[in-house]
């Protein structure tokens, strides 16, 4: 507590900077790393199921008979069950994005070109620096 009383002004002055760095630098990096492990098919399947559930609800509101309502209720239960399975923990997480990335010839060529250019640049800089 004594520390807070002693350094209250310093903490108050630096707190906005820490919040800014956390919100605009650290948090987006963690979110992007997390999202990079989510299979792209997961998002499509989720959107399709959400759309299907909305359509079933609309159809249920306009249903004429009891038989049609019962069929739509069963279909809604199935769609909601599929949606719950899709959102279960671990669902959608995979290395498929990275497997696809590292199997891409253009990506591998780009990485090797970047390493070559970086290596050559460092060698040229080292030679020039030692010469000077």
Summarised one tens digit per residue, pLDDT across range 99-117 is 888 999 999 999 999 999 9
- Per DSSP, the three-state class of 93 is strand
Mean pLDDT in residue range 42-65: 87
Asked if 108 and 102 count as a contact pair (C-beta separation under 8 A), the reply is yes
Q: What is the pTM assigned to this prediction?
A: 0.51
C-alpha torsion angle, residues 14, 17, 19, 22 (rounded to 10): -130
- Ranked by mean pLDDT, the top range of 72-76, 89-93, 110-114 is 110-114
The residues, ordered by sequence, that sit 6+ positions from 40 with a Cβ below 8 Å of its Cβ are 96, 97
Give CA–CA dist 52/56, Å, rounded.
6
pLDDT of 86: 79
């Amino acid at each position: 507590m004594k520390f807070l009383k002693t350094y209250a002004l310093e903490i108050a002055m630096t707190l906005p900077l820490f919040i800014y760095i956390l919100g605009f630098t650290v948090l987006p990096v963690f979110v992007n790393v997390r999202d990079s492990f989510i299979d792209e098919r997961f998002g499509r399947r989720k959107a399709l199921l959400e759309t299907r559930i909305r359509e079933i609800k609309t159809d249920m509101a306009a249903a004429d008979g009891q038989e049609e309502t019962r069929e739509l209720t069963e279909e809604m239960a199935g769609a909601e069950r599929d949606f719950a399975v899709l959102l279960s923990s671990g669902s959608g997480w995979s290395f498929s994005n990275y497997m696809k990335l590292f199997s891409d010839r253009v990506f591998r060529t780009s990485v090797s070109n970047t390493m070559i250019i970086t290596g050559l640049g460092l060698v040229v800089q080292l030679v020039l620096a030692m010469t000077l």
